[in-house]
Chains A and B, each alone.
Chain A
């Protein structure tokens, strides 16, 4: 159990750093983050299920320019921890709620990191404007560790929330099914609405329609 918690904290930190600061190699995508967390917890299917739902929510977001975006990766780690070993689809909806809440907290935390970086840039302004390498390295290193700390803290909060929800589930059996239905539908709709918004009215929308038709055909035939 302790090993699993340590591994989840490490994975959450890696995932949080991947969101913006290091690589952006998409380890922070919910599908990846939650499936790996599920493997750590011995329930990859539960991880993949909540990861797929959160991935659909994440498809609505275009991380463009200086925009702040939800930290779905760390949220997905917390969601997988909530869903792991829960019976069937009962834990899925509640777990996704945990994931969404943690993603929101991660987003707010990112603003604090950027404000901290901005304060550093102002503090070292003279050294930067004098071409000082040490100031560049100092600001960059501090920014890295600030984001690592954010990721670790948000992951820890997420795991505490997951444990609390797992231990004292706030809804009845019927309620859990209702929550699962609502978040699954909301995720599918958000992804579809986001893509329709992104592609506009031209050829992109037609290709989206072709894809939908192909997917529906696949579902009907299999």
Chain B
């Protein structure tokens, strides 16, 4: 990578540090793209640089690992001297796909798959091994994706949509959901058994019964309640009963 790209890559790691309700990651994107814009004609004091930075700070959102595609493509478009309207349209056109693909690929795929495998290794081998496997699997994909995204964005410029329809991405999207479901499914009994080690049979049955109630509650009765709120409610009831016991 060129020095500007390397600096931009590092800055994409903190792209969400200024996340706000007006422009979402717009300011963060501007922070990341700035090293690539310094070499525009006229330099960092020139009008082209200021115009590019002004556009870069506007409303924007994307999955943080995929944001490099937008940063690279927009920087390339700025260097090619595309008109203001075309660059704004390019930014807006990328918001939906980058969010959707990143969320499906990472948050609904690679993350639960890695966590499931990490949990199984924790239960079967050792906690430290589980953590290392989880971090290794997840960050192998994470860092590769960030690097690929920035390189492809910078290489393709306004043709960045080719990267989104690339065979690797499409194949990954079709595979990652079932793999995640398989890994979490595998992890639940293994981790449940590990967590219930040392429990009596009746206590283990009680854990299973609470789990069934939780599935019914979170899947069908109040699916929007969320694990945290369900956990807090269940814990509060148990604490009151436990305190009285």
Contact = CB atoms under 8 A, between A and B. Distances in A.
A52 interface: yes
Nearest to A32: B131
B196 A144 contact: no
B239 interface: yes
A72 B231 CA distance: 12
B19 A140 contact: no
Nearest to A33: B131
B19 A117 contact: yes
Interface string B150-174: 0000000000000000000000000
Interface string A35-64: 110110000110111011101111111111
A41 B57 CA distance: 44
B54 A131 contact: yes
Interface stretch (B1-9, B86-94, B110-118): B110-118
A199 B207 contact: no
A216 B127 contact: no
A5 interface: no
Contact of A31 (B119, B206, B214): B119
Contacts of A58: 115, 227
Interface in B6-30: 13-14, 16-24, 27-28, 30
Most buried by B among A100, A121, A131, A132: A131
Contacts of A204: 177-178, 181
Interface residues of B, number: 103
B31 A140 contact: yes
Interface in B89-140: 99, 103, 107-108, 111-112, 114-116, 118-119, 122-123, 127-128, 130-131, 134-135, 138-139
B21 A129 contact: no
Nearest to B187: A215
Most buried by A among B130, B183, B185, B199: B185
Contacts of B24: 66
A179 interface: yes
Given A182-B210, A191-B184, A207-B185, A140 B14 contact: yes
A50 to B, nearest CB: 10
Interface of A: 20-27, 29, 31-32, 35-36, 38-39, 44-45, 47-49, 51-53, 55-66, 70, 72, 88-89, 93, 96-97, 100-101, 103-104, 107, 114-115, 117-118, 120-122, 128-133, 136-137, 139-140, 142-144, 147, 170-172, 174-179, 181-199, 203-205, 207-216, 218-219
Given A52-B191, A60-B228, A144-B14, 18 more contacts: A22-B14, A22-B17, A24-B65, A25-B135, A61-B226, A61-B227, A89-B198, A100-B228, A103-B228, A114-B21, A117-B20, A128-B27, A143-B18, A184-B210, A187-B231, A192-B214, A195-B180, A215-B189
